[in-house]
Homo-oligomer: A and B are copies of this chain.
């Protein structure tokens, strides 16, 4: 009922707003003198200068500050493939968050194509005006190829947030959760349930951070070297103990379960298979893999979700605004793994004394975006 009410309230608000962002001129145009500077004839000088020295676009134009938030609507929230227009309210929300949390100007672009090749061509074609590209809610596995090709082609930062925003925030949360239960990342056994965009990037970032034992599962069970998808074969390499089977086999004695899959896939009995002082992040949204109370009944010491109505909300909004704020401010052309690791540590460091119910900073903590931005350089 509460959830239905939120949906209803959201519809009313969206109708009232008629779109969640507005365009504002950065100066008032009050008379002909103003107009002669921002438009003809004065603008001709600016255009000539920028045309001759393209790098000056970062000084004289919106390329200095503007991010494009781009989606094809193929994997929107928990709703799946609902297409471009369905994705638009989410992308608008993201742009509103960019400005609110980090002062980043961002506009939503939703694409009338779901073909990887056409998506890449479109992103490259509209890239000149932008200082960065945030890819969003694009389904795996095409998201990997698309991101790779766009990164290679452009000299501005490009990030598929479902992958790397999630990975950064999850790593931050794990670092602090391990601190609470007095375990080490290098010896922790980790299960990642979900081999999509979020699961894949998170597993690799955990590995880069020092985790050595990571078992990833998809809907068919533990991913292994026989899988046809290249990104899953790469994930299989992180399965150091060569565990085989399904969720039960994977969970035996492990320290961390990361759910980035779908609603209600994990049961209390599954959690009982885990090691003592288990950490469970059930991040499917809005219905998690397991409800926090059920996870705790199964023996979990620390539980996190993507939701705002439980403790430990693990949400991308802690990462992406600061990542692009930093990239723009510091002239960063590529978001490297090293930067993502630093961003995760910076977020974790904002909760110097983590507890079971407080492993990540609040999303409205104004220090977060600044701390992240500072290390993206």
Contacts and interface: CB of A to CB of B under 8 A. Distances in A.
Interface of A: 3, 6-11, 13-15, 17-32, 35-51, 54, 57, 59-66, 73, 76-79, 82-100, 105-113, 118, 121-122, 124-129, 285-286, 306-308, 317, 363-364
A95 B106 CA distance: 15
A20 B50 CA distance: 15
Nearest to A31: B364
B23 A23 contact: yes
9 contacts: A23-B107, A27-B96, A32-B363, A39-B96, A47-B87, A50-B88, A50-B89, A61-B88, A113-B125
A255 B86 CA distance: 55
Contact of A61 (B24, B60, B85, B106): B85
Contacts of A49: 11
Contacts of A9: 37, 42
A28 to B, nearest CB: 8
Contact of A308 (B32, B82, B108, B113): B32
Contact of A19 (B42, B62, B99): B62
A62 B84 CA distance: 13
A127 B112 contact: yes
Contacts of A109: 126, 129
This chain: copies in complex: 2
B128 A19 contact: no
Contacts of A107: 23, 107
A57 B49 CA distance: 39
A39 B98 CA distance: 12
A299 to B, nearest CB: 28
B22 A24 contact: yes
A47 B29 CA distance: 36
A226 to B, nearest CB: 36
Given A26-B20, A105-B22, A128 B84 contact: yes
Contact of A42 (B6, B47, B62, B84): B6
Contacts of A285: 40-41
Contact of A47 (B82, B100, B126): B82
**Most chain B CB atoms below 10 A, which of A41, A48, A65, A108:** A41
Contacts of A98: 23
Contact of A11 (B46, B87, B88): B46
Contact of A62 (B20, B62, B308): B20
Given A46-B14, A90-B47, A125-B111, A25 B59 contact: no
A43 B100 contact: no
Q: Can you list the 10 inter-chain pairs with the closest CB atoms, starting with the nearest?
A: A51-B86, A7-B45, A10-B42, A19-B62, A51-B82, A25-B96, A84-B128, A39-B93, A41-B286, A14-B60
Given A14-B46, A39-B93, A110 B129 contact: yes
